[in-house]
Homo-oligomer: A and B are copies of this chain.
């Protein structure tokens, strides 16, 4: 039976607790419930009162394909809202196999305390001074971790961004090859880990087994059906494995919704040069890998290994959002520059979406030139130099950098930077940006499905009709997917297959040996959102915060000449609950 591991980062005491009132929850449902119950909503995000929760999903650690996502939760330093930031990598499955559903980092050390590593094995929890890793980028840090603990561990760790409590700091997770290439990027949760002076948590699951289903036969059968569902949809079986998520570059550019030069245009003249097709071609020519799974048990394999001209590994998990953020949005058109920027973010421990927008602010403010990838990388690497004040600006994200550089076109909602879909021409995702509990976030309700990809329905992207409804439904579904520990990309298949959600319910039922229905899946999502809204309300957020910046309302977006025309009142009505 899984436990909750509570670690006091000040006293270095820990205890394993029964799930108690948290029984039945997992992933985002669990992180959000713990944060709501235990963190004062008005607390400063970097204070001892905040907690960092890392939770495996309900289905994590089992045979279920694509169930290895980890949810991190806390009050966000970036947005001031509750936050769930989600990542792949090896951590979640090893955590579940160790019999731990969630780790809760509590309190914070005295001022001046050094960083600690936490090592968890089946025999217990150990704390080690991280003095030799302090200040290191995550790649160098992982080298030391692998050298010390072997190649089979899973790790979550922070870079200099998290160590210095930057608001755009990510928590990075190691992939099957031990690279820190997977990120819980959004919302600055790396800063919360940094404030608690934890550099890395290392999981060694040697001697542990997969989590079995209580009803083993039914679990196996449902698991098989689950694989068939994923394999049966063109997006999850062909599009994503073939070209990675950057297959979207050409699609979104064609739709006129690829934000270009800080959301001034919906098309980028060099889109083809940074497309998924171009990436796949480049990787193939250089001998890298076009298909790669971020965690054991992934059958979608949207990741890849991008190599440099000499064939040497440069980065992986080189996603559409990143390619856009450092590409069209900043007018950088050299793929190698963009890959180097992705690596720099992973290495410094920073969110690529936030940093791409931040670099755009530096370009708006005249700090560096539009399109200059080399200068952008230098700026990002400054986060690793504590004596350089520019690093403190760049590492704090888009809203902060805009204020530092005197910029007045600032694409943020609740101080979190917008992702790679212009809300004027993909209005469904604009509704999500405004109304999700998370600040601007595409994954919270990915209406690009119905607006552009025509998965799960067909709603015209530039009109208002139907957008609120699809965003609401997607927000509920996403919260459930995040709670279950499933990769969000399973949604492509589930949305188009009537057996998708019933199969998920069967998986949970067989795993726990207790009845679980389609309604239970839906309620898992709804209750998670209710918890998050309750926290945000207590923190002071109101419907007034659910708006896009004025420039989206005032500046028509080429090529369609669209503006954001939902009123504040309409967004108020669009809240999920």
Judge if A392 is at the interface, Cβ distance under 8 Å.
yes
Using CB atoms, name the residue of chain B closest to A45: B408
Judge if A507 is at the interface, Cβ distance under 8 Å.
no
Q: Is the CB of B49 within 8 A of A550?
A: yes
Q: Contacts A393-B389, A393-B393 known; A406 to B46 CB distance under 8 Å?
A: yes
Q: Could you say which residues of chain B place their CB within 8 Å of the CB of A164?
A: 406
Q: Is the CB of B542 within 8 A of A547?
A: no
Point out the residue from B45, B194, B542 that lies within 8 Å of A542, measured CB to CB: B542
In the bound complex, CA of A551 to CA of B49 (Å): 11
Q: Is the CB of B542 within 8 A of A540?
A: yes
Q: Mark A529-546, 1 if CB is under 8 A from B, else 0.
A: 000000000011110110
- In the complex, the count of this chain's copies comes to 2
Q: Is the CB of B540 within 8 A of A544?
A: yes
Point out the residue from B165, B403, B539, B550 that lies within 8 Å of A167, measured CB to CB: B403
A contacts with B, residue count (CB < 8 A): 40
Q: Mark A383-426, 1 if CB is under 8 A from B, else 0.
A: 00000111011001000100111111110000000000000000
In the bound complex, CA of A165 to CA of B407 (Å): 9
Q: Contacts A400-B400, A540-B542, A541-B544 known; A550 to B393 CB distance under 8 Å?
A: no
Using CB atoms, name the residue of chain B closest to A164: B406
Q: Mark A171-203, 1 if CB is under 8 A from B, else 0.
A: 000000000000000000001001100000000
Judge if A577 is at the interface, Cβ distance under 8 Å.
no
In the bound complex, CA of A403 to CA of B195 (Å): 12
Q: Could you say which residues of chain B place their CB within 8 Å of the CB of A539?
A: 544
Judge if A40 is at the interface, Cβ distance under 8 Å.
yes
In the bound complex, CA of A539 to CA of B550 (Å): 11
Q: Is the CB of A195 within 8 A of B406?
A: yes
Q: Which of A392, A396, A403, A404 has the most CB of B within 10 A?
A: A403
In the bound complex, CA of A407 to CA of B191 (Å): 11
Q: Could you say which residues of chain B place their CB within 8 Å of the CB of A550?
A: 40, 42-44, 47, 49
Q: Could you say which residues of chain B place their CB within 8 Å of the CB of A409?
A: 44
Judge if A549 is at the interface, Cβ distance under 8 Å.
yes
Q: Could you say which residues of chain B place their CB within 8 Å of the CB of A547?
A: 42, 540
In the bound complex, CA of A20 to CA of B542 (Å): 37
In the bound complex, CA of A167 to CA of B404 (Å): 9
In the bound complex, CA of A551 to CA of B195 (Å): 17
Point out the residue from B195, B390, B400 that lies within 8 Å of A389, measured CB to CB: B390
A488-547 CB contacts (< 8 Å) to partner B:
539-542, 544-545, 547
A40-56 CB contacts (< 8 Å) to partner B:
40, 42-47, 49
In the bound complex, CA of A195 to CA of B405 (Å): 12
In the bound complex, CA of A165 to CA of B410 (Å): 15
Q: Could you say which residues of chain B place their CB within 8 Å of the CB of A43?
A: 550
Q: Is the CB of A540 within 8 A of B549?
A: no
Q: Is the CB of A545 within 8 A of B549?
A: no
Q: Could you say which residues of chain B place their CB within 8 Å of the CB of A389?
A: 388-390, 392-393, 404
Can you name 16 A-B pairs with beta carbons within 8 Å? A40-B550, A42-B547, A46-B408, A49-B550, A164-B406, A165-B406, A389-B392, A393-B404, A396-B403, A396-B404, A400-B403, A539-B544, A540-B544, A540-B545, A542-B542, A542-B544
Residues of A within 8 A of B (CB): 40, 42-47, 49, 77, 164-165, 167, 191, 194-195, 388-390, 392-393, 396, 400, 403-410, 539-542, 544-545, 547, 549-551
Instruction: Rank and list the top 4 A-B pairs by shortest CB-CB distance, nearest first.
Output: A540-B544, A165-B406, A389-B390, A389-B389
Additional A-B contact list (18), CB under 8 Å, known A43-B550, A393-B404, A542-B542: A40-B550, A42-B547, A44-B409, A46-B408, A47-B408, A49-B550, A164-B406, A165-B406, A194-B406, A389-B389, A389-B393, A389-B404, A392-B404, A393-B393, A400-B403, A539-B544, A540-B545, A540-B547
